Structure 1
Amino acid sequence: MSWQLGPEDLPALALGATLLGTGGGGDPHIGRLLVEQAMREHGPVTILDPDDLDDDLLIIPTAQMGAPTVVLERIPAGPEPLAALRRLEDHRGRRAAATMPIECGGINSMIPLLVGATGGLPVVDADGMGRAFPELQMETFSVYGVPGSPLAIADELGHTVLIDTGEDNRQLEWLARGVTIRLGGVAYIAEYAMTGRQVKDTAVPRTLSLALSVGRAILDARRDHRDPFAALADAFSRTIYTHIRELFHGKVVDVERRTTEGFARGRARIRSADGDGELEISFQNENLVAIRDEIQLAVVPDLICILEEETAEPITTERLRYGDRVRVIGVSTPALMRTPEALAVFGPRCFGLDREFVPVEDGPGGEIAGTADARMEEWEQTPVR
C-alpha cells in the first residue's frame, strides 16, 4: 500500500533516522531542510511498500557518499543526487520507476526523498543496510547478488563520473571513494539499479516507516512527559528489530576523531556516574563495537546508539563531545543481516576488528522495559502515514 510523506513528517523521520544511523550516516538536519523546501515547492512524496512493486520495475537507489565531518562544512546544493540518477538512467537507456535509500540512517534517509520531490519519483520503503554502514559493498543488495555497478557520481559543480566494475562491489567502493575524495570529500551517487523482484528479495523492508515510528515515539514521549527509552522499546518491539538493550550510562570523558581516507574514524570513552567503569566505542563513520572492561557488549552489524540521557536525542559521531551525559543502547538487526553471507560483508572482521559477532541480546546488558505484549518474527505492521 502506498502512502504520502509530507513536510510535517520530516522532523520525526529525521530524528528516527539519526538513531538508526548508529552515530553515522551524516546528520539528516541539512537534508531535512532541503526536502522540506522541495516538498513545499513540488508537493509530498509517494512512498511505495516493497511488497507492492511489480517484478520488472526499475528501481535506482540514491545516496550521499563521504565523511560526515565534511558534510557539516560542505552542505549540498540540492540538485546533485538527481543529477547522478539522470546520468545513470541515460547510461542504461531506461528511466527509473522509483528511487530508494541505500541506508535508512542519517542523511541518506533524506536524499532519496529529495530526489523523489524534485524528480517526481516515488520512493520505496526499504533500504540495503537496515542502519548505516560506511562502505558501498556493505549492503544486503550486495550480499544477495545485486551488482552495484554501474554507479553514477555527481557534485554541486555539475561534475559527473560513471564507474563500472562489473560485479566487483569492493572495487566499486574503492574507486568511488577515491573520486569522492577528489570531489572534496562528499558527493552524491546512484547505484545498485535493480528490479522490483530484486528489491523484494534483497532489501530490508519498511525502514522509512521504522525511522518515522521511532522518531514519533521519542517526540510523543517527550510531549507527554513519559520515558522516551520505554517508548523506543515499544516502537522496536513491533518490528523485525526484536531486541533493544541498555549497554551503559555515563559521561563522555574523551573523544578521538579524525577524517582520513574519506571516513570519520576514532573512538569515544564514556565513564559511569559512579566512576567504577568505562565504556569504549570505536567508530568508522558509525559506531562499530562497544567494550566495557575488555568485555564486548555489542558489535556491528547490531546497532550501537549513543543517546542524550534524558531526552533520548541521538548523538552522531561528529557531534559527540566531552561532557555529554548519555545512555548507550544496543539494537538487534534483522535476521537477513546476520546470516554467514551477510557477516562476511559487514561483520566485525570486515572493519579490521579481531572479534566474532555475538548478538546483542546474548551479551551483557539489560532489556529496556516497554509495554508491548509480544515481539513479531515478521514485520507485518501497517506502514505509518
Structure 2
Amino acid sequence: MTWELGIEHLRDLARGAAILGTGGGGDPLIGRLLVEQAIREHGPVTVLDPDELDDDAFVIPTAQMGAPTVIVEKIPRGSEPVAALRALERHLGRTADATMPIECGGINSMIPLLVAARTGLPVVDADGMGRAFPELQMETFSVYGVPGSPMAIAGEHDETVVIDTGVDNRQMEWLARGITIRLGGVAHIAEYSMTGAEVKRTAVPRTLSLGLSIGRAVRLARSEHRDPIEAVRAALAPTLYNHLRVLFRGKVVDVERRTVEGFARGRARFTSYDGTSSLELRFQNENLVAEVDGVVVCTVPDLICVLEGDTAEPITTEGLRYGQRVTVVGISTPELMRTAEALAVFGPACFGLDVDFHPVEQRVLTTP
C-alpha cells in the first residue's frame, strides 16, 4: 500500500533501517536530521508500494557512498544527491518518475527521502540489497541483470561526474570508489536507473516499511518495559526476514578500525559477561562474519547486528567503542539474496572470507 511519510516516522525508520544495515549504511542520526529539515521545508514524502508502480515508470535510485568514518565528520549540505540525480537525468535525456534506496542502512535509507522531499518525487518502498553492503555491484539489481551505469556522482563543491561502464558493474564500483576518495572520502550518487517492471523483478520489496516496523517495535517495547530484542524478533517473523538468533551477549573489549581505500575496515572483539566466551566480528563498512570461540556463527549475506544490550539501539561499525554492553544478533536474509547467483556477487568469498555460506538458522550455536 502506498503511504505518506512525515517527520513523525523518521526516528523509528532511522532506528529500524540501521538495524537492517548490519553495522553500515551510514550514520542514522545525520540522515534523519537532513530529511527532517527537508520535510519541514517542502512537505511529506509519498512512499510507493512496488506492486503499485507502473511497469514503464522510470526509477533512479539515489544514495551516499564512502567510508562511514568520514561521513561522521563531513556532514552533507543536502543538495548533493539531488545534483547527482539531475546530472544523470541530463545525461540520459529523461527525467525520473521516482527514486528509491539502493540499500537499507542508517543514512542510505534516508538519502532517497531527502531527494524526494526536495524534488517532489515519490520513493519506491524497496531496495537493492535488503541490508547494506560496501560495494556498488553488490546489488540484487546487478545479480538479476540491471546495469548500474551510467551513474552520476556529485561532490560537496558541486562537482559532477558521469561514469558509463556498460554492464560491468565491478568496473563501475572501482572507478566510482576512486573518484569518491578524491572527493574527500564521501560522495552522492544516482545509479541503476530502471523501469518499474525491473524494480518488481529485482528489488527486495517493502524494506522502508520494514525498517519503520522494526524501529516502532523497539520503541514500544522500551516504553512498555518489554524485551526489545524479542520485539524485533516478533516484527521480523511474518516478513521475508523471518529468523532472528541471538549470537552473543557481552561487552566490547577491543576495536581495530582503519579508513582505507574508501572503506572502514577492521574487527571488533567481545567477551561474555562471565569472561568464559568471546566473539570476533570482521567488517568492511558492514559486519561480514561473526565467530564465537573460533566457530563461525553467521556470515554475509545474512545480517549481523550489534545492538545496545538494554535498549536494542543499533551500533554502527564506526560507533563501536570499548566497554559497550551489547547483544549481537543474526537475521536471515530473503531467499532472493541466498541464490547461487546472489552468493557469487555478495557471498563470503566476495570479501575474501575463507568460509562457506550457511543460513544463520541452520548453524550450530551455543549462546553465552
TM-score range for the pair, normalised by the shorter chain length:
over 0.9
Counterparts of 2:106 and 2:65, CA distance in 1: 12
| SS in structure 1 of the partner of residue 161 of structure 2 | strand
1:83 matched to which residue of 2?
A: 83
Cross-structure match for 1:316: 316
Amino acid in structure 2 at the alignment position of 1:230: E
The alignment partner of 1:102 has SS state of coil
- Secondary structure of 2:156 counterpart: coil
Question: 1 CA distance for matches of 2:359 and 2:366?
Answer: 14
Which amino acid in structure 2 is aligned with residue 238 of structure 1? P
What secondary structure sits across from 2:255 in the alignment? strand
Q: Which residue of 1 aligns with 2:279?
A: 279
Q: Distance in 2 between matches of 1:333 and 1:320?
A: 24
- Checking the alignment, whether the CA contact within 8 Å between 1:106 and 1:132 is kept in structure 2 is no
Amino acid in structure 2 at the alignment position of 1:276: T
Q: Aligned pair count?
A: 367
Q: Which residue of 1 aligns with 2:6?
A: 6
What's the counterpart of residue 209 of structure 1? 209
Q: Which amino acid aligns with 1:239?
A: T
Q: What residue is the counterpart of 2:361 in the other structure?
A: 361
Q: Does 1:123 align with 2:123?
A: yes
Instruction: Note the aligned Cα RMSD (angstroms).
Output: 0.9
- Tell me, yes or no, if structure 1 residue 17 matches structure 2 residue 17: yes
Aligned counterparts of 1:50 and 1:18: Cα–Cα separation in 2: 22
Displacement of 1:365 in angstroms is 3.4
Deviation at 1:366, TM superposition (A): 7.2
What's the counterpart of residue 95 of structure 1? 95
1:172-191 matched pairs, under 5 angstroms: 172-191=172-191
- Letter of the aligned partner of 1:240 in structure 2? L
Q: Please report how far the alpha carbon of residue 158 of structure 1 lies from its aligned counterpart in structure 2 after TM superposition.
A: 0.5
Question: Which residue pairs with 2:27 in the alignment?
Answer: 27
Work out whether residues 246 and 365 of structure 1, in 8 Å CA contact, stay in contact via their aligned partners in 2: no
- What one-letter code is carried by the residue in structure 2 that aligns with 1:359? P
Unaligned runs of 5+ in 1: 368-385
Q: Deviations over 1:276-330 (max 9, x none)?
A: 1110000000000000122110000000000111100110110100101111000
Matches within 5 A, 1:330-349: 330-349=330-349
CA contact (8 A) 1:245 1:366 kept: no
Report matched runs for 1:1-385 at 5 Å: 1-365=1-365
Q: Following the alignment from structure 2 to structure 1, what is the Cα–Cα distance between the partners of residues 223 and 161?
A: 46
Deviations 1:243-298 (A, max 9, x none): 00000011111000000000000000000111111100000000000001221100
Structure 2: any 5+ residue segments left out of the alignment? Answer: none
Indicate the residue corresponding to 1:380 in structure 2.
Answer: none
Give yes or no for contact 1:80–1:155 (8 Å, CA) kept in 2.
Answer: yes
User: Does structure 2 retain, via aligned residues, the 8 Å contact 1:246–1:366?
Assistant: no
Amino acid at match of 1:46: T
Give the 3 Å change call, closer, same or farther, for CA 224–103 of structure 1 in structure 2.
Answer: same
Shift in Å at residue 187 of structure 1? 0.2
TM-score of the pair, normalised by structure 1: 0.94
Q: How far off is 1:9 after superposition?
A: 0.3
Same amino acid, percent of matched pairs? 72
Compared CA separation, residues 359 and 7, structure 1 to 2 (3 A)? same
How far apart, in 2, do the equivalents of 1:326 and 1:92 lie? 47
After TM superposition, the runs of 4+ consecutive aligned structure 1 residues lying more than 4 A away are: none
TM-score by length of 2: 0.99
